[in-house]
Structure 1
Amino acid sequence: MATVSLENLGFTYPGADSPTLSKLNLNIPDGEAHALLGASGAGKTTLLNILSGLLTPSSGALRFDDKDVSLQSGRLRNVAQVFQFPVLYESLSVADNLAFPLRTRKAPSGMIRERLDYICSELDITDLQSLKPAALSLFQKQLIAVGKALMRPDVSLVLLDEPLTAVEPRTKWRLRQTLRRVQADLKVTMIYVTHDQTEALTFADRVSVLTAGGILQTGTPEEVYNSPEHEFVGHFVGSPGMNFLPAKALGIDDAERAGFRPEWAVLGTASSPISSSPANSSAMGQLTGQVLRIRVQGAQAGKPFGLLTLATDHGQVAVRGEFPDAPVSIGDSLNMQLTRCITFTNQRKVSDIELV
């Protein structure tokens, strides 16, 4: 396996007016499961093609361990890749598909058999070895594609290019959990490229959020969600994303905007106001809004909880949590007390403020 390092890496397509990737710096330790998360056009595919050797950086360097591989072919890098749709040879059995990468390198038959048994056991596909791809479900085909990428024991890096896109929603969780378990067992360096935040946050040890060819933040899933370094990260990560209001609306004067997650607000009715923490002014972190939409998602201790959308004097906000004691209806006026918020100036994080 390998430590992967990007050093001021950039790429511009021939004839383009601006770079697709610009001054990327990132270090992915050996054996880490890393996710590259971004919307369409963020530069994920271009970066993936540079990692695999299909494209050469226009500037900067790509290193595997301490070796600059920027100009090296993909074959020499020992990179394996799993695509959105499984790439299998329909005329070969599952066992022959899996063995193909080692047979083309003329590996000893004993070594191939040992590796085949090991990978099939890890992926729980031993019973499928004699079948042809036509007899497999899409879920099973993608498992075989993953196994094929893992067959070579000398693989430096496994690239996963949105591997769950074509898989049925009800089986995505199973495949993601299998990928994560196998990655942890084999300690292989994996880079998972996706636009789906759920896949990124539940698969990776760390996540890098890309937009417009740059990395805005790299951190654990918890860090990226709870402490976004940029407004875009707060908006893009989360369902719904972070709420943003003028900082002054929350009684904060030293920043332009303030953001808070839907679950960082406690609700109360006009008849049951929420007292603020003695450590803060009475106005800090308090809002009043009119209920626009109600989505009940369950009950706790006999009280409903879910997601409310409210209209405030400063824009709409989403609040998730336990509903007030009194029944809530569309048009009701509710008080909100934020437990914490993050402030931003020029879209960059300024501070993390505990309000209650």
Structure 2
Amino acid sequence: MKTALLRAGVAALVLTTAVSASAAGLLDHYTTAWSVAIATPEASAVAYNWDTHRLMVTNDEEDGNFARFGEYDMNGAKVADINLPGCLSLGSSQCDPEGLTYVGNGQYVVGEERYQDIARISQTAVNGTTRTYTDLSAAPTISVGPNAGNTGLEGVAYDRTSGDFYAVKETGPQTIWKITNADFGNETATISALFDIGSLGLDRLSDIAVLSNGLFAGTAFGDNLLILSGRSQVIYELSQTGQLISQFDLSGFDALINPLDEGGKFEGMTLDEDGNIYLVSDDGDGRNQSYLVKLQYNALAAVPEPASWAMMVGGFSLVGVAARRRRRVVVA
């Protein structure tokens, strides 16, 4: 009986702590797990592939007709080079793939900043550890907005529970788009702005992530969005109506990703199925180093609120009372 009541008390402790975690906001439950230098310069986006459990990282500067990406394992070790041909087919402006998201079945959607297009790509060839993906000139493409130069589409995320996409425009103005009814076969979609994010005072938007694809699906967090601003050195958790729920301060990484004070900053963000966040930083003006950083999700990390502490104490009190009663019975 005493053991059963003790288990009940521990269960109450776990339950109340979990409830407290929900009340605290999601980003209160993250700590830095590791950071590794990566061999993809100008890293600007990262996407988690839930089929292979790999991370693909974009390089936002073309090499002639190619964009050169890298694929990494979940510990940050590079496992493949990725070629994305067709940059010269886009037009007079440079190829600038700033957004990336995985959509399943080996396919990704890449976001091109200057032309503000999203294109669906998949692997077409393998040569050792080098893999080639769809030529951009042949990739099915949906236009999200008009040409915007170097202030356009910075990030894209796919919600596999609904089939919707979300995207962010860096500035001029800062915009969060919801992209529904995406039909890459006909290259059409319904595009709408979610809310005015300018009032939050961020210095440019860098990327967006949804919380509905893994651990948080169906939870109180599931419909929320994460917004990354590398220049403001922060991640915001926002509701889809624009309510700020929690935030994670990234300023402590500045000495790592920008030691030369030449513009190194976080540019890309994604989540794995366990809720862990992965960030990539660019190398600024080219003399810093690109990094991949993992932020670990800790479900019980937040300090319980006063009401939860009271319930926890009450749970342990019940265990103590039961133990005393048990001792009385034995003495008698």
Normalising by the smaller structure, the TM-score range is under 0.3
TM-score (norm 1): 0.23
Bigger-Rg structure (1/2): 1
Structure with bigger helix share is: 1
Higher relative contact order (CA 8 A, sep 6+): 2
